[in-house]
Amino acid sequence: ETGVTQSPTHLIKTRGQQVTLRCSSQSGHNTVSWYQQALGQGPQFIFQYYREEENGRGNFPPRFSGLQFPNYSSELNVNALELDDSALYLCASSLDNNYGYTFGSGTRLTVV
Amino acid sequence: KNEVEQSPQNLTAQEGEFITINCSYSVGISALHWLQQHPGGGIVSLFMLSSGKKKHGRLIATINIQEKHSSLHITASHPRDSAVYICVRNTGNQFYFGTGTSLTVIP
């Protein structure tokens, strides 16, 4: 049984650029959720995907978008990066949102 | 306004002490999660609760649905328990995070 894998682990981007972060869910999990954690703060829920459809979204603007693929891996895309987007981005997977979540180690994004 | 309140914010304990971290929320839940986050960011999901009590090793989590309150207990605390503990309210397909409790266990 594999855990949740996120890539890349660290990333530096320039303001205005676009970024894609990737998450490979734990085997057998069909639900994935993404979180943003700014330095010194708790995580904030971005959105959740279930069987390739977005089925929950937090208070984030549309330039934060995602995809879930048939193998249940997932991407988080952020357009028009802003300095405040600098954060640790975490993904977590679950089976049917009815069981505990397995978290990835995160991608640390720095926007300069 | 944070809909999930945790207390205390910071906690320092001697090794071996019994520790309690509290979480209160204001609206109904589908489930309540307890997470552990170590320095560097790695998160471990400890418990997912919708009622009653769960135990895993030295960790015990309880929830009182009527009072909208959950507690995480650590028995015989150890320095490796030092981490931030986060309570998460899951309502439908939304997740609301508590502010976290930073625990330091001193040898």
Q: Which chain B residues are Cβ-neighbours of A37 within 8 angstroms?
A: 41
Rounded distance between C-alpha atoms, residue B79 and residue B86, angstroms: 18
Contact state of A42 with B86 under an 8 Å Cβ cutoff: yes
Q: With an 8 Å Cβ cutoff, are B92 and A56 in contact?
A: yes
Q: CA-CA distance, B18 to B65, in Å (whole number)?
A: 24
Q: Is the pLDDT of residue B38 over 90?
A: no
Mean pLDDT of chain A: 91
Chain B residues within 8 A (CB-CB) of chain A?
33, 35, 41-45, 47-48, 86, 90, 92-100
Query: Which of the four pLDDT bands, split at 50, 70 and 90, describes residue A11?
Result: very high
CA distance, residue B26 to nearest chain A CA (Å): 18
> Chain A: which residues have CB within 8 Å of chain B?
33, 35, 37, 42-45, 48, 50, 55-56, 58, 88, 90, 92, 97, 99-103, 105-106, 108
Kindly state the average pLDDT of the residues A16-42. 92
How far away is chain B from the Cα of A16, in angstroms, using its nearest Cα? 26
| Closest to B26 (Cα-Cα) out of B62, B68, B59, B66 | B68
Task: List residues bridging with B105 in a β-sheet.
Answer: B13
Of residues A103 and A61, the one with the higher pLDDT is A61
Closest CA to B19 of B68, B66, B61, B69: B61
Q: Residue A37 and residue B99: Cβ atoms within 8 Å?
A: no
Q: Which of A45, A50, A105 sits opposite B94 (nearest CB)?
A: A45
Residue type, B89: R
Q: Indicate left, alpha or beta for B16 from its phi (over 0: left) and psi (-120 to 50: alpha).
A: left
Burial class of residue A70 in the structure, from the number of CB atoms within 10 Å of its CB (0-12 exposed, 13-18 middle, 19+ buried): exposed
Question: Minimum mean pLDDT among A72-81, B45-54, B92-101: which range?
Answer: B92-101
Give DSSP secondary structure letters for B7-49.
E-SEEEEETT--EEEEEEESS--SEEEEEEE-TTS-EEEEEEE
- Residues B32-58 have a mean pLDDT of 89
- pLDDT at site B2: 56
Q: Is the pLDDT of residue B93 over 80?
A: no
Contacts of A32 in chain B (CB under 8 A): none
Please give the helix or strand (H or E) that residue B61 lies within, else none: strand B59-64
Give A40's pLDDT tier (boundaries 50, 70, 90): confident
Closest CA relative to residue A99, chosen from B86, B33, B91: B33
Q: If we measure between CA atoms, which residue out of B25, B18, B19 comes closest to residue B8?
A: B19
Q: Please identify which residue in the block is written with the tokens 């978008």.
A: A65
Cβ atoms of A88 and A108 closer than 8 Å: yes
At A42-92, the pLDDT tens digits run 889 999 999 999 988 999 999 999 999 998 899 999 999 999 999 999 999
